C-alpha cells in the first residue's frame, strides 16, 4: 500500500486546526516580559503555533507532552526558554473555556467509557487484565532472550485474526520488526491454523479460509529507530484508513535502540531522550486511533525511566525452574520442572499476578495462575543451564 506523505501531513494539519469543540484563540504574549517575548515568539513559530484555531490536542502533543531536553535540542533553545514555553502554553490552556482540563464527574466518565480488548485466549489471563490488552494502551512484554516474548505476542495477533468476520473481537494486526527473517511467517501460519482448529472455523459459512485470515496480519520492517520514527506519518495514515487494525506489535524494540545507540556511557542521555520521544509519539498514536500496542523488550534498564513510566501494562515472561510443592506441610515430595512463568508486574487496573504458561512449539496451549505452594527456584533457567533435577551447570563458551 502506497501513501502520500505530503497529503498525510496536510490532512493531519487540517485535523489539528478543525478539531470540533477544542479550537482556541491565538496565543497572546501580553503577559510575557518584554525581554522574553521575542524569544518565545520564535519558539512558538518553530512549533507552528502562531496561527489561530490551534486546539488543545496540538498544544499537548507539540509542547507539554514532549520532554524538555527533546524540545531544547530540536528548537536549539536553552532549558530556561523551554520552561518559559511550558509555563506560557500551560497558562493558555487553563484560560480556555470548556477546556478538557476541567474536572469531569466520575459518573460521566463511566457512562462514556468503552474500550476494546485484544484477548489472550486464556480466561485467567483475560480476567487478570480486565479483558485483555486494552486498546488505547501500551503493553510491554519483557524478558530474557528466548523467554517466549515473540511467541506470546504472535499468539495474540493470530487469535485476533482467527475470529469470524462478524465477530466484534476480530481485528487486524500490524507487526513492526527489525528484520524480515525475525518474523516467523511459517510458524505464524501454524499458530493460526491451531486457533482455527480449536474454534472449528476451517469450514466457515462465509467461506473464509486460512489464507484469508492471514491477510489480517501485515508485517513492516524497520532496522533502526530513526527509520521507524520516520514511518510514523505513514502509520498514522494507515490507521486512519484501516479502522479494523486494532493491534500493533513493535517486536525487538531493544534491538532497535541498540542499533541506533551502540555505545554505552557516552550515549546514555541521548538514548534515553530518543526513547522518551519515541514512546510519547507511540502513546499518542495508541490513544488517537484506539489501538492496543505491544512492545517486546529484553529485560534491563538501558531504555531509561521514561520508558518504564510510559507503558501502561508490563508483562514479564521468564523460563523458570518451578517447584510444585505439596499442598500440605507434611508432604515432603515436590515436582520440579522447567516451564514458562508470566508475571503481571504493572497495571493500573489489576494487582500483581503470576501464571504458568504452557507452550507447544510457539503456540500457547494454556495458562493457569500459580498457587501459594508453588515456588520459582531459578529464573531464566535456560541461560544458566539449569535442569529439573536440581543441578546447575555453568554455560560453556567457545572462543575462536
With pLDDT > 70 as the criterion, what percentage of the chain qualifies?
A: 67
Alpha-carbon 352 to chain mean position: 19
All cell numbers assigned to 325: 510443592
Domain 117-315 listed as CATH 3.40.1160.10: no
CB atoms within 10 A of CB 388: 15
CA-to-CA distance for 216 and 171, rounded, in angstroms?
7
CA angle 188, 353, 361 (to 5 degrees): 25
Q: Is 290 exposed, middle or buried (0-12, 13-18, 19+ CB in 10 A)?
A: middle
CA-to-CA distance for 223 and 193, rounded, in angstroms?
29
Residue 394 DSSP class: P
pLDDT of residue 308: 87
Length of the chain in residues, anyone? 400
Residue 109 confidence class, pLDDT cut points 50, 70, 90 = low
* Mean predicted lDDT score pLDDT of the chain: 75
pLDDT of residue 111: 57
Torsion angles phi and psi, residue 70, rounded to 5: -65, -45
CA-to-CA distance for 115 and 136, rounded, in angstroms?
8
pLDDT of residue 49: 56
Model pTM?
0.68
| pLDDT score of 231 more than 70 | yes
Burial letters 180-215, b for 16+ CB under 10 A, else e:
eeebeeebbbebbbbbbeeeebeeeeeebeeeebbe
Residue 120 confidence class, pLDDT cut points 50, 70, 90 = very high
Residue 80 confidence class, pLDDT cut points 50, 70, 90 = confident
| pLDDT score of 220 more than 90 | yes
388 and 323 Cβ atoms separated by less than 8 Å: no
CA-to-CA distance for 381 and 374, rounded, in angstroms?
16
Outline which parts of the chain fall under CATH 3.40.50.300: 117-315
Q: What average pLDDT score do residues 147-171 get?
A: 90
Q: For 244-296, what is each residue's pLDDT tens digit?
A: 999 999 999 998 888 888 766 667 888 888 888 899 899 989 988 999 999 99
- Helix axes of 68-75 and 79-94: crossing angle, nearest 10 degrees: 110
Sign of CA dihedral 224, 229, 234, 238: positive
pLDDT of residue 262: 77
132 and 119 Cβ atoms separated by less than 8 Å: yes
Which residues make Cβ contacts (< 8 Å) with residue 22, sequence separation at least 6? Answer: 55, 56, 57, 100
| pLDDT score of 54 more than 60 | no
| pLDDT score of 203 more than 70 | no
Amino acid at each position: 500500500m502506497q501513501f502520500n506523505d505530503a497529503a498525510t501531513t496536510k490532512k493531519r494539519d487540517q485535523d489539528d486546526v478543525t478539531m470540533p469543540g477544542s479550537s482556541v484563540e491565538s496565543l497572546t504574549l501580553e503577559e510575557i516580559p518584554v525581554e522574553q517575548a521575542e524569544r518565545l515568539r520564535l519558539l512558538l513559530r518553530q512549533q507552528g503555533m502562531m496561527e489561530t484555531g490551534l486546539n488543545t490536542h496540538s498544544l499537548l502533543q507539540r509542547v507539554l507532552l514532549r520532554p524538555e531536553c527533546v524540545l531544547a535540542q530540536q528548537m536549539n533553545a536553552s532549558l530556561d526558554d523551554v520552561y518559559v514555553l511550558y509555563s506560557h502554553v500551560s497558562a493558555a490552556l487553563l484560560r480556555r473555556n470548556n477546556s478538557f482540563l476541567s474536572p469531569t464527574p466520575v459518573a460521566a466518565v463511566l457512562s462514556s467509557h468503552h474500550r476494546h480488548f485484544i484477548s489472550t485466549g486464556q480466561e485467567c489471563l483475560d480476567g487478570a487484565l480486565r479483558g485483555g490488552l486494552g486498546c488505547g494502551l501500551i503493553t510491554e512484554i519483557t524478558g530474557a532472550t528466548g523467554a517466549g516474548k515473540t511467541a506470546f505476542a504472535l499468539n495474540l495477533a493470530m487469535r485476533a485474526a482467527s475470529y469470524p468476520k462478524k465477530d466484534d473481537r476480530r481485528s487486524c494486526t500490524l507487526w513492526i520488526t527489525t528484520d524480515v527473517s525475525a518474523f516467523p511467517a511459517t510458524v505464524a501460519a501454524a499458530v493460526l491454523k491451531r486457533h482455527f482448529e480449536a474454534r472449528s472455523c476451517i469450514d466457515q459459512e462465509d467461506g473464509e479460509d486460512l489464507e484469508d485470515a492471514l491477510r489480517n496480519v501485515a508485517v513492516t520492517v524497520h532496522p533502526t529507530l530513526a527509520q521507524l520514527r520516520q514511518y510514523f506519518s505513514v502509520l498514522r495514515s494507515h490507521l486512519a484508513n484501516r479502522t479494523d487494525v486494532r493491534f500493533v506489535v513493535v517486536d525487538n524494540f531493544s534491538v532497535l535502540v541498540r542499533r541506533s545507540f551502540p555505545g554505552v556511557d557516552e550515549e546514555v542521555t541521548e538514548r534515553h531522550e530518543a526513547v522518551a520521544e519515541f514512546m510519547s509519539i507511540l502513546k499518542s498514536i495508541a490513544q488517537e486511533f484506539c489501538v492496543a500496542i505491544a512492545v517486546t523488550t529484553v529485560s534491563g534498564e538501558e531504555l531509561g525511566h521514561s520508558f518504564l513510566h510510559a507503558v501502561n501494562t508490563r508483562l514479564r515472561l521468564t523460563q523458570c525452574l518451578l517447584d510444585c510443592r505439596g499442598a500440605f506441610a507434611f508432604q515432603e515430595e515436590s515436582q520440579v520442572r522447567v516451564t514458562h512463568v508470566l508475571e503481571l508486574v504493572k497495571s493500573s487496573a489489576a494487582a500483581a499476578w503470576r501464571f504458568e504458561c504452557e507452550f507447544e512449539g510457539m503456540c500457547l496451549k494454556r495458562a493457569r495462575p500459580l498457587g501459594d505452594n508453588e515456588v520459582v527456584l531459578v529464573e531464566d533457567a535456560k541461560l544458566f543451564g539449569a535442569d529439573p533435577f536440581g543441578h546447575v551447570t555453568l554455560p560453556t563458551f567457545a572462543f575462536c
